[in-house]
């Protein structure tokens, strides 16, 4: 359930770029036409217990390599890219700072596919981006991740992911942000900032992927 029509406000802000809207089990899926690094966005929210406040979730995705574009070099790079997923982690107590680290999703994948190796190249790239880290410091998201889009829940343990590991069906990067929003907060500024954060993140993920592909060629 949306609180105080916030989703409608989000749609008004994004309206000039919306190509289509589809209700899904994960939230409202938007296909977008604009000059950002992603073309799909899912909007959803979660009501905080005993409160009028809520957290809002945004999942942006970009298909970097389509199935018919997969070649041997991309296939050989896929395992390494699976290891580059990131998650934002808080550091410090009194003066909290944030830094990207290798995603917990990578560790889950490694439990099934030991060949996947943790790679912090994307985490370092994001941590070194002053614009992104300034926006992170300003918004303080409760969750911020970026991974190759692999649904562990939809795969049989070992078998499904092993098949995907050896014969990947394209590559899609997904960035997810969940943020605590109070009623008095300017939603238009929040939306714009979140779009900027995901834009930078997916763009750097693609750049890092192409760089790793180059080392595998």
Length of the chain as a residue count: 217
**CA-CA distance, 170 to 186, in Å (whole number)?**
38
Residue with tokens 């899904």: 24
Residues of the chain with pLDDT under 70: 1-5, 48-53, 94, 150-162, 182-185, 216-217
**Cα gap 34→118, rounded to integer Å:** 33
| pLDDT digit string, tens, across residues 21-73 | 999 999 999 999 999 999 999 999 887 666 666 788 999 999 999 989 999 99
45 alpha-carbon distance from chain centroid: 16
Half-sphere exposure of 117 (CA within 13 A, CB side): 4
Of 138, 149, 130, the residue nearest 205 (C-alpha): 149
pLDDT of residue 51: 62
Is 208 in contact with 29 (CB distance < 8 Å)?
no
Find out whether 118 and 102 touch, Cβ atoms under 8 Å. Answer: yes
Question: In 97-170, at which residue ranges do the beta strands (DSSP E only) sit?
Answer: 97-102, 143-148
pLDDT of residue 183: 57
């Amino acid at each position: 359930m949306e609180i105080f029509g916030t989703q409608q406000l989000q749609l008004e802000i994004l309206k000039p770029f919306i190509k289509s809207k589809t209700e899904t089990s994960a939230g409202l899926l938007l296909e977008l036409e604009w000059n950002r690094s992603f073309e799909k966005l899912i909007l959803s929210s979660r009501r905080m217990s005993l409160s009028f406040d809520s957290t809002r979730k945004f999942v942006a995705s970009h298909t970097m390599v389509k199935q018919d574009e997969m070649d041997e070099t991309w296939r050989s790079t896929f395992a390494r890219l699976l290891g580059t997923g990131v998650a934002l982690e808080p550091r410090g107590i009194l003066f909290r700072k944030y830094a990207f680290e290798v995603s917990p999703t990578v560790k889950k994948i490694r439990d099934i596919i030991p060949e996947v190796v943790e790679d912090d190249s994307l985490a370092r790239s994001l941590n070194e981006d002053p614009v992104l880290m300034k926006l992170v410091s300003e918004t303080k998201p409760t969750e911020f991740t970026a991974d190759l889009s692999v649904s562990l829940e939809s795969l049989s343990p070992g078998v499904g992911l092993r098949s995907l590991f050896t014969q990947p069906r394209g590559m899609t990067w997904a960035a997810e942000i969940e943020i605590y929003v109070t009623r008095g907060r300017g939603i238009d500024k929040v939306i714009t900032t979140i779009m900027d954060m995901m834009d930078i993140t997916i763009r750097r993920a693609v750049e890092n992927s192409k760089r790793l592909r180059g080392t595998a060629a």
